[in-house]
Homo-oligomer: A and B are copies of this chain.
Amino acid sequence: MSKPLILVTNDDGIVAPGIRVLVDIVRPFGDVVVVAPDSPQSGKGHAVTLEQPLRIKKVNVFPGLEAYECNGTPVDCVKLAKHVVLKDRKVDLCVSGINHGSNASINIIYSGTMSAAMEASLEGVNSIGFSLLNFSFDADFNPCRPYIEKIIRDVMEKGIPHSRLLNVNIPNPASGRIRGIRVCKQAEGRWREEFMEATDPRGEKYYWLTGVFQVDNLSEDTDIWALKHDFISVVPSGHDLTTYPSIPELKYLEV
């Protein structure tokens, strides 16, 4: 009997510490194949590469494991994994991350980590994106390991209902003590952006995107609430963006 096939990817790039931890965690669960970007791809959302050719290269980054780096986006990695690397072999689980930084609330939309997982879920594969609320490459992943193992074990046993995608965010309490896991909804929030303005040596202005994240609701059923209270948040997520209650209200547009 063949072991489950597990695809691992991320958006911080194949040499980021987070993907190394995730690979370690999933190894006992099946045959692991890694296809990840060759450079940081944070904030790439669901971008695919249409105007440039894609390249994929076998690399020896994880001893004893089949691993590939790709010059495209996280979504490109999942597409190349399916078609070029795995030649349409059935994938049993896709895990993406562990991202260095939060993908809670509306950040699922901007996140390469979550978009990679969503791309796999579109193909019917149970998919989980993991993110730790710590941007540092020196982040301590030890406190969250047993929780990630539990989530993966449960999902491999029971699957993910409906759209097969989980957005898992992990708090980073100073104490190191995570209080548990909460299944919740995406909080309403938004970026209050500013642009850092600077001037290049030729006198031309340029801008760097920056900003602070602002949460609009902090009710107990949201991911941001869970994280603020040192719980891991699990948000079942999907790809149907229709706002159903609006349909009857907009019927007047029809001619």
Contacts and interface: CB of A to CB of B under 8 A. Distances in A.
A19 interface: no
Contacts of A42: 50-51
Number of copies: 2
A245 interface: yes
A109 B44 contact: no
A250 to B, nearest CB: 5
Residues of A contacting B: mostly: mixed
A170 interface: no
Interface in A119-152: 122-123, 147, 150-151
B209 A254 contact: no
A54 B207 contact: yes
A186 interface: yes
A209 B75 CA distance: 11
Given A209-B76, A254-B181, A255-B181, A236 B247 contact: yes
Interface in A10-58: 40, 42-51, 53-56
A237 B243 contact: yes
A151 B253 contact: yes
20 contacts: A40-B51, A45-B45, A45-B46, A45-B115, A46-B46, A47-B110, A54-B207, A54-B208, A79-B193, A79-B195, A79-B209, A83-B194, A109-B115, A150-B253, A162-B243, A163-B246, A180-B255, A183-B250, A185-B242, A237-B243
Interface of A: 40, 42-51, 53-56, 73, 75-76, 79-80, 82-84, 106, 108-110, 115, 118, 122-123, 147, 150-151, 154, 158, 160-163, 165-167, 180-186, 188, 190, 193-195, 197-198, 204-209, 234-247, 249-255
